[in-house]
Structure 1
Amino acid sequence: MESGNGLYKTECIRTNIFQNGPYRTIADVEFATAAWVEWYNNRRLHSAIGNITPVQAEHAHYADLALQAQPL
């Protein structure tokens, strides 16, 4: 969990990637957090799964399961 918190602070809170300008309200932090979570879960490239996105890995996994389930 500490690693996840560190990534969040480094990538979301301490940069202006997910928020233009400083955070002035809690709503600013909430919107930036939602954008970061969406990026982290759906669009980031992950080296442990072949530099593809988690969504692509999930689709490939279920496609492979469907192929394995087909009768010969």
Structure 2
Amino acid sequence: MLRRPVESAQYTSFTLAEHLDRAGIAASIGTVGDALDNALMESTIGLYKTELIKPRRPWRTLPEVELATAEWADWYNHRRLHGEIGHIPPVEYEANYYLTAQKPQVTVTT
């Protein structure tokens, strides 16, 4: 049986693309060398490392890191003030958005 060589980057592999296509899922994958798709994630990971991981090392156990990560994510989303969104936490920004977003109007025709 012939097999395709395994791609070195799992997120851009032909096998993954075919699997997603069969499942009816549209992949969100940028072009090679294009970091625009993951810029937000890279920024968040950088903050996570700077604000939590590096200052509190050395970490002793995986459960210790897992608990600290959950606490950091809660703080990041519910209490950390984000300058780009008006010095409020993301949860508050999202709530404000949905309060002011226009809702589609239902009309009845007879």
Partners of 1:51 and 1:70 in 2: CA distance = 29
In structure 1, the partner of 2:54 is 14
The code of the aligned residue for 2:54 comes to R
In structure 2, the partner of 1:53 is 89
Q: Where do 5+ consecutive residues of structure 1 fail to align? A: none
The alignment partner of 2:84 has SS state of helix
- How many aligned residue pairs are there? 65
1:12-51 pair list within 5 angstroms: 12-16=52-56, 22-51=58-87
Change in CA separation of 1:27 and 1:59 when aligned onto 2, cut-off 3 Å = same
Partners of 2:104 and 2:63 in 1: CA distance = 49
In structure 2, the partner of 1:64 is 100
1:5 paired with 2:45, answer yes
Alpha-carbon shift at residue 22 of structure 1 (Å):
4.7
Deviation string, structure 1 residues 23-59 (Cα, Å, up to 9, x no partner): 2111101111111111112221111111111111111
The code of the aligned residue for 1:37 comes to A
Q: TM-score, normalised by structure 1?
A: 0.73
Q: TM-score, normalised by structure 2?
A: 0.51
Higher radius of gyration, 1 or 2: 2
Partners of 2:100 and 2:89 in 1: CA distance = 17
The alignment partner of 2:100 has SS state of helix
Which aligned runs of 4 or more in structure 1 are off by greater than 6 angstroms? none
